[in-house]
Chains A and B, each alone.
Chain A
Amino acid sequence: MPAGLNRALLTLAGAVVAVLLAIAICSVAIIVAGGEPLAALTALFDFGESARAQSNSIAVFLNRAVPLFIAGLAVAVGFRMNLFNIGVEGQYRIAAVCAAYVGSTFTAPAPIQITVIILVAALVGGLYALIPAVMKVTRGVNEVIATIMLNYIAINLSSFLVRGPFAGQRAEGELNVTTPKLPESAMFPDLNFLFEGFGMLPPTRNGGLWGFIVVAIVLGVLVWVVLERTRFGFNIKASGLNGPAALASGVNPKTMVISAMVLSGAIAGLIGLPEILGDRGAFNSNFTAGLGFLGIAVALLGRNKPVGIAIAALLFAFLDRAQGALQFAGIPPAVITIIQGAIVLLVVVANEVTGRFARRLEERRAAQQLGRNTPVEVTA
């Protein structure tokens, strides 16, 4: 078996074991909480009674996965070179409010309008991530601390912007403040026709299945190509695996920190767009929060690889979606958070275990090779 395939299979096996263990742990938590684990498990797969409800559940599930996937990608770009961009949370919020505002100031044909909004979001996210990057390369400020602090600034700044300079018309009796409504041309076409293709009813809740999922898939492929096939991706990997060796090989660590951080921030900038362009048409004060932090868990779970991140995002979204169904089954929905936390922890442990196992396996294979190539002649 090729060495690469061997490692991949081991990783997969580790992840599966981790997920099963997490479910086992949660069963205990559910029993303690006075629930029935089997009922909970069925509730996880309960997509609703009516055909419409089922379509809606699937749409909600996929719609949740998209921003999680993008957040995971953003975090992973930094993680790949041991650069901990904890600031994804702040970067996407500030990018979302700016992009929503800029998008509302003009009207152009849909492709142009949407492209401009995406570019603005990426630009703002990238620029905001540039701050900790510059601080790191010029002053040696740890990026973890800098990005956490910048999160507070970004979160409060975006609240201020949506309330003040970027505030739009508030509807009668509406308590949320919001940016001005985007023109119709800014709304990303939905993918509800897919449901009809499968002979299902189109989902109706929250704008149906958001078309931004296509952008996310393209983005995932792009990130994979950049990380796995280009020189830039190689330099990121080398810097992450062994900084001194990368330096000795001619990689400039400062350039790498800045470019990786800006790339991470630019991707982070897109996290809020599925929701804005697919459903709300604006950034408002009850915009989904916490996606940046969840992205860290998703990236960890997905081992910083786009395919893994996609699976992790789907898993997280699947679990998140079940919160309502669990409540109906009389089980506290916080169980989901426990499962998610347990999975992340166990997967990190499983990665370590399978990683070591794989390494030992390879050492053994190499040692065998050594044995084969040396002529055997044991005479004194």
Chain B
Amino acid sequence: MSADTLATATPAVELEGITKRFPGVVANHDIRITVQPGTVHAIVGENGAGKSTLMKILYGMQKPDEGTIRVNGTEVSFRTPSDAIGVGIGMVHQHFMLADNFTVLENIILGAEPSNVGVLDTAAARRRITELAEAHGLRVDPDKLVEGLGVGDRQRVEILKVLYRGARILILDEPTAVLVPQEVEELFQSLRELKAEGLTVIFISHKLDEVLDIADAITVIRRGTTVASVDPDNVTARQLAELMVGSELPTPETRESTVTDTVTLTVSNLTMQAEGQRLLLDDVSFAIHQGEILGIAGVEGNGQSELIEAIMGIRSAHGRLELAGQDITGWSTLKRREAGIGYIPEDRHRQGLLLEASLWENRVLGHQTRKPARSGIWVDRRAAKADTERIVEEYDVRTPGVDTLALALSGGNQQKLIVGREMSGEPAFLIAAHPTRGVDVGAQAAIWGHLRDARAAGLAVLLISADLDELIGLSDSIQVIYRGRLVAALDPSDITPERLGGYMTGAIAGNEET
């Protein structure tokens, strides 16, 4: 353990020898973490390293098999999250848990309503929320409906919700995953103020640059146990990442260009209108060449999903699409797929997998009409299974077998299966939407590698990602989408995530409109 400088104070949270076994696997093994009060303590580790189990234990959602938890020096044992809330531990989940049709105030007091002789005391609640918001620099309008708020505001509401319940120790689970760089900076500003107030923040993240920026102490978890406690001042992001995976790791860089002159996909004047009057896609045109990765940057909800689904033929749009010189505008999704369009969907559970079907059946999905899955009117089970074995092998999908249900796999392994599937049958063009979202560092590197190899082999890729490093690192050119329009074409070799974030939020743009 480091942080000797603060060793005099009673630690806010002390975990000692925490072990949690699930039959067959050890999720946590002898975890030791000491969190000093009034600090931001980051916990980093790959997906599946045991971070979430640990947080569930600390938040009373699961009981450890061994080990002790001490909060402010007192040993505690939680049976439910309310016990944890009782000693001042609050958790902000990665996926917001807010009721859209309630106001900010209603959401904050939900479940902890102040009452005055059985009557809801809104005035008292409002006073307290305003107090909290001002004290911690979390500005929100208490009377606004949550459905009208952006992600950054929603997150502030979540934090206020926890503070309102009297939390002095905050657990933030991947809080920056959904934010653009500017919002991250705002969040960090709030966290610094919370820290200044003497609150303790436990910050779980993947994004190492951010961790280094905000954390006062860092604990690395690998394979269920704490492998290192480091001081952010004398460690680099790369060293940290290597501690996380336990080996050297690659970067998303693809500098040597493989772009050719042959155009694979041409999108011209693509326009899509919502039921009302708003344009979801507004005159979008671009071309992708063989061996080119075109990155689309944008804050979520600016037309990326619509663009993808229009190209896949899932939603209809006006405009023209050409694949290798052929007009595919009127084609069905099936025909487009048969013509060589691969699709890594943004939400693998919604569009990419049959969770309750076996892996080999998932291999068949999207390839029903093509070899090796097809043989006449039949599904060729043997060939499909054999080819799934190949994917499992080549893409390092960790599974007991190809008959296992897809839901049993971790997110990273599911994603590797999808990538393997979409790369089979030699596609000419691939849509990769958030190809490494929710995927651990190891799998991320593997997926980047596969994309890079396919690009070198002449694949045209449309890459959509919220991970700006990935976008900048992999793309040969970047287009920014804002309110359904392509507003800027950028060269990834001279752009920073900050500038890109400016374009994405509409802060920098010549043709900005409201």
> Which residue of chain A is the closest to B410 with respect to CB atoms?
A370
Task: Pick the contact of B314: A248, A362, A366, A378 (CB < 8 A).
Answer: A248
Q: Which residue of B22, B335, B343, B356 is within 8 Å of A364 (Cβ)?
A: B22
When C-beta atoms are compared, the residue in chain B nearest to A229 turns out to be B378
B408 and A362 contacting across the interface, CB-CB below 8 Å? yes
The CA-CA distance from A247 to B223 in the complex, in Å, is 38
Chain A residues with Cβ below 8 Å from B48 are 370
Report how far A294 CA is from B269 CA in the complex, Å: 55
Q: Which of B371-388 contact A (CB under 8 A)?
A: 374, 377-379, 381
Are A3 and B404 within 8 A (Cβ)?
yes
Residues of A within 8 A of B403 (CB): 2-4
B365 contacts A367, C-beta separation under 8 Å = no
Residues of B within 8 A of A245 (CB): 350-354, 365
Indicate if B289 sits at the interface (CB-CB under 8 A).
no
B333 touches A364 (CB 8 A): no
Interface string of A1-45 (1 = CB under 8 A from B): 011100000000000000000000000000000000000000000
Q: Give residues 329-371 of B contacting A (CB, 8 Å).
A: 332-338, 343, 345, 350-358, 361, 364-369
A230 touches B377 (CB 8 A): yes
From the candidates B312, B355, B379, B404, name the one contacting A365 in the complex (CB within 8 A). B404
Indicate whether A248 sits within 8 Å of B407 (C-beta atoms), given known contacts A368-B25, A370-B48, A378-B227.
no
Of the 9-residue stretches B274-282, B393-401, B447-455, B504-512, which lies at the interface with chain A? B393-401
Measured CA separation A26–B335 after assembly (Å): 56
Pick from A3, A234, A250: contact of B333, CB below 8 A. Answer: A250
Q: What does DSSP make chain A's interface, helix, strand, loop or mixed?
A: helix
Q: How far is the CA of A2 from the CA of B312 in the complex (A)?
A: 36
Q: How far is the CB of B197 from chain A (nearest CB, A)?
A: 33
Min CB gap B380→A, angstroms: 10
B24 interface neighbour in A232, A250, A368, Cβ under 8 Å = A368
Q: Is the CB of A234 within 8 A of B361?
A: yes
Asked if B488 is at the interface of the complex by the 8 Å CB criterion, the answer is: no
Number of cross-chain contacts by CB at 8 Å? 140
| Contact across chains for A370 and B398 when beta carbons are under 8 A apart | yes
B109 at interface, CB cutoff 8 A: no
Q: Considering the chains assembled together, what is the distance between the CA atoms of A238 and B361 in angstroms?
A: 9
Give min CB distance, A340 to chain B, whole Å: 28
Interface residue range, chain A: 35 or more
Mask, A206-217, CB within 8 Å of B = 1, is 000000000000
B-chain residues with CB within 8 Å of residue A235 when the two chains form the complex:
368
A251 on the B face (CB < 8 A): yes
Contact in complex: B337, A241 (CB < 8 Å): no
Find chain A residues with CB under 8 A from B400 CB: 3, 362, 365-366, 368-369
A373 at the interface (CB under 8 A from B): yes
Q: Tell me if A249 and B407 are in contact (CB < 8 A).
A: no
A3 to chain B, nearest CB (A): 4
Q: Which of the residues A232, A249, A362, A377 comes within 8 Å of B404, measured between beta carbons?
A: A362
A2: nearest residue on chain B (CB-CB)?
Answer: B403
Q: Is B401 a contact of A379 with CB atoms below 8 Å?
A: no
Q: Say yes or no for A303: interface residue by CB 8 A criterion.
A: no
Q: Does B441 sit at the interface, judged by CB under 8 A?
A: no
Q: Nearest B residue to A3 by beta-carbon distance?
A: B403
Contact B368 A231 (CB under 8 A): yes
B25 proximity list for chain A (CB < 8 A): 364, 367-368, 371
Q: Which of A249, A366, A371 has the most CB of B within 10 A?
A: A249
Q: Looking across the interface, which residue of chain B has its beta carbon closest to that of A376?
A: B223
Chain A 338-370 residues near chain B, CB threshold 8 A: 359, 362-370
Given A252, A374, A380, which contacts B334 in the complex, CB threshold below 8 Å? A252
A248–B410 CB distance below 8 A: no
A233-255, CB < 8 A from B: 233-235, 237-238, 241-242, 244-252
Contacts of B378 in A (CB 8 A): 229-231
Tell me, in angstroms, the Cα distance from A376 to B407 when the chains sit together: 25
Q: How far is the CA of A366 from the CA of B359 in the complex (A)?
A: 12
Apart from A248-B343, A363-B407, A366-B398, 20 more pairs, CB < 8 Å: A3-B400, A4-B358, A234-B368, A234-B379, A241-B357, A242-B350, A242-B355, A244-B350, A245-B352, A248-B314, A248-B345, A252-B333, A362-B405, A366-B404, A366-B408, A367-B410, A378-B222, A378-B246, A379-B246, A380-B228
Q: What are the 6 tightest A-B residue pairs by CB atom distance, in nearest-first order? A: A250-B334, A362-B408, A249-B366, A380-B228, A366-B408, A248-B351
17 A-B pairs (CB sep. < 8 Å)? A231-B374, A234-B361, A237-B361, A238-B357, A241-B357, A242-B353, A245-B352, A247-B333, A249-B333, A250-B332, A252-B332, A362-B404, A366-B409, A367-B24, A371-B25, A378-B223, A378-B225
